[in-house]
Structures are given as structure tokens and as C-alpha cells.
Structure 1
Amino acid sequence: MTTFYFVRHGETIINRAQCFNGGGVDAALTASGEAAASRLGAYLDKQSFDAIISSPLQRAQTTAELLLQPTKAVQPAIQIDDRLKEMALGDWEGQPVAAQQNHPEFDHYFHHPDLFDAAAIHAETYQSVLARGQAVIDDYNQAYPDGQVLIVAHGIVLLFLMNTLLGVPFAEIRNQKMVANASLSILTGQAGHYQKQLWNQTMTED
């Protein structure tokens, strides 16, 4: 069985400002976001990976680099995979979340992914995000059927991908809590059958 280590990128300036942080914006990590990623790296310092894959967005790449700095194991080079990029949010990119509360698609976006009309805000569909994320899992499951694979990506991508792997119905995924910035979740499995080994673990300051 493949063991996938899923890490959400560290906090960014846009996260802190409570704005939409989609695939069309790419703010830098905050100092606390960098520190949290480094702490997670220290937690994983003895873990070796067969593959390390990151979203192309800089916030994910920086997180991946910080994770590997404390490592005591020989690690493969970070691979960049465009399919892990965050959901494109169109007109909402970088905008304050509170400013969109009266938009007709706001409730659908946050609570009813099966009803969300992405075209209304020139965004990507949830179905598209999930399909490309699942393709990544399929590829690396086949390439490393007994391997350890680290994936560094984004909140929505991970929300839909991990919950789908665990069998949560598509329409109910937005009822699940999004994992925290600089968090680690570990799933083990293959061929559509995955089990949760660790969920939404963050490393607190000493």
C-alpha cells in the first residue's frame, strides 16, 4: 500500500487577511507560516520519501523546501505537478471573503459543491479540482505501490482529494473541516481503499 503524506502550505499574507487564496494569487508565506513549516520539517526529519511532489505555486514550493531543510534522510528532488495547483477562483481571487457574502454563489461555494456554478465567477469547478488531484494519486500509487509519497498542496485541493479517498460523498465534502496551514495528514491505501493514519496534525511552538 502507498502511504501518502499530505501537507497544506504554511500561512500566507492572503490567508491572514481572510481573503480568497485561490490558484490565481500567490502571496508569500508569513513569518509564522515559515516557522510552522520548519517545525513540521523537524517532526519529519527522520522520514525518507520515495517521491516529493509540490504544487507549482510558490507558497507550496517554499513550504516543501522548508520541510526538507532539517531532514536527516536522503531525499529525492522536489517534483512540481501543475495538477496540485489550488482551485482557480476567478473574480474572487484575493478578495475579502466577507465582501462576497451576498453573492448568489457564496452559500453554494462554502456548503453545496454539487450546486456551485463556477462559471458565475469565472472559477474552476470543484469536479475539475478533484479529477486532477485524483489523477496525481493514481499516478503515484502505481509508481510507488509500497512507497512513501509526500504531497504539498492547498486547502481546497486537499479537502476534496483526501475526503474522497476516505469515501466522503462529493456533496458532503464541504461539511468537513479544512485542514490547517502547515498541517500533516497521512493516508495509507490503494485502489480506492484508504485509511486515515494521522489527520490535520500541526506542530506547536515549544
Structure 2
Amino acid sequence: MTTFYFVRHGETTINKAQCFNGGGVDSALTPAGLAAADRLGDYLGDQIFDAILTSPLQRAQTTAEHLLAQSRVVQPALTIAPQLREMALGDWEAQPVAAQEKHPQFDNYFHHPDLFEADQIHAESYQAVLDRAMTVIDQAQQAYPEGNVLIVAHGIVLLFVMGTLLGVPFSAIRDQKMVANASLSILEGQGQPYEKVLWNKTV
């Protein structure tokens, strides 16, 4: 079976400001975010990966680089997977979350992905995000049917990919809590549903 190690990028300045941090913005990691990535890298220091895939956004790449810098074993080079880019949030990019609470799509965005009308804020739909991200997962599973694959990506991308692998209905995926910055979740399997080995661990 394939074992996926899913890591969300470290805290960024936009995260810290409690603003929307979609695929159209890419602020730097905070000192706390960098330190957390280093700690997680040390935690994973003896784990050998068959492939390491990261979003093209710098916050994810920087996190992946810090993880690799702490490795005590030889690892494969980073592979950039554009399909792992965070969901594009259009008009809400880098805007304070609290400032959008009265928007007609606010509740759907946070609670009803099947009802979220992305075009109302010039954003990407949840289904589009899931479809593109799952191509990476499917290809990795085919390429490494008995391997260990590290995925470094973003909150929404990981929420929907992991929820789908675990068999959570699309309409209910937003009922799950977003995993923390610089967190590790491990899922393993050969087909859906996957088994949850570790969830949302931070060090």
C-alpha cells in the first residue's frame, strides 16, 4: 500500500494576520513557521521517502526545504506539482476573514462546499481544487504502490484530498477541522477509503 505523509506549510504572515491565504497570494513564513518546519523535519529525520511533492507556492516549498534540511538520510529531490497549489480565492485573497462575514457566500465557503458559488468572488470551486489535486495523488499511488510519499501543500487542498481518501462525502468535508500549520498527517491504503495512521500532529 502507499503511505502518504501530508504536511501543511508553516505559519505565514497572512495566516498570522487572520486573512484569507489562497493561491493568489504567497507571503513568507513567520519565524515561528520556520521553526515549526525545522522541528517537524527533525521528527521525520530518519524517514526515507520515495518521492517528495510540493506545491509551487513558496510557503510550501520553503517548508519542504526546511524539512529536507533536517533529514538524516538521503532523500529524493523536491518535485514541484502545480496541481497542489492552494485554492484561488479571488476577491478574498489576503483580506481579513472577519471582514467577509456578511458576504452571501461566507457560510457556504466555510460549511457547504457543494453550495459555494465560487464565481461570486472570482474564486476557484472546491470541486476544481479537488480534481486537480487528486491527479497528483492518483499518479503517486500508481508510481509508488508500496512507497512512502511526502506531500507538502495547503490547508484547503489537504482538507479535501485527505477527506476524499478517508471516504468523507464531498458536502461534509468542510465539517472537518483544518489541520494546523506545520502539521503532519499520515494516511495509508491502496484504494479508498484510506486508513488514518496519524492526524494533525505538530511538534
TM-score range, shorter chain: over 0.9
- Equivalent in the alignment of 1:148: 148
Please identify runs of 4+ aligned residues in structure 1 that moved more than 3 A: none
Alignment of 1:1-206 (within 5 A): 1-203=1-203
| Alpha-carbon distance in 2 for matches of 1:71, 1:202 | 17
| Alpha-carbon distance in 2 for matches of 1:193, 1:177 | 19
| Alpha-carbon distance in 1 for matches of 2:30, 2:141 | 33
| Alpha-carbon distance in 2 for matches of 1:133, 1:147 | 19
| Alpha-carbon distance in 1 for matches of 2:18, 2:12 | 10
**2:24 aligned counterpart, secondary structure:** coil
Please tell me the residue identity of whatever aligns with 1:49. F
Measured against aligned partners, the alpha-carbon deviations of 1:37-81 in whole angstroms (never above 9, x if no partner) come to 000000000001000000000000000000011111110000000
| Alpha-carbon distance in 2 for matches of 1:58, 1:17 | 18
**2:186 aligned counterpart, secondary structure:** strand
| Alpha-carbon distance in 1 for matches of 2:190, 2:109 | 30
What's the CA shift for 1:201? 0.2
Measured against aligned partners, the alpha-carbon deviations of 1:149-196 in whole angstroms (never above 9, x if no partner) come to 000000000001101100111111111000000000000012223100
Pairs aligned (count) = 203
Over the aligned positions, Cα root-mean-square deviation in angstroms equals 0.5
| Alpha-carbon distance in 2 for matches of 1:172, 1:191 | 20
Unaligned runs of 5+ in 1: none
| Alpha-carbon distance in 2 for matches of 1:61, 1:178 | 20
| Alpha-carbon distance in 2 for matches of 1:54, 1:99 | 31
Unaligned runs of 5+ in 2: none
Please tell me the residue identity of whatever aligns with 1:183. S
**1:193 aligned counterpart, secondary structure:** coil
Which stretch shifts more, 37-46 or 185-194?
185-194
**2:91 aligned counterpart, secondary structure:** helix
| Alpha-carbon distance in 1 for matches of 2:190, 2:16 | 36
| Alpha-carbon distance in 1 for matches of 2:47, 2:200 | 18
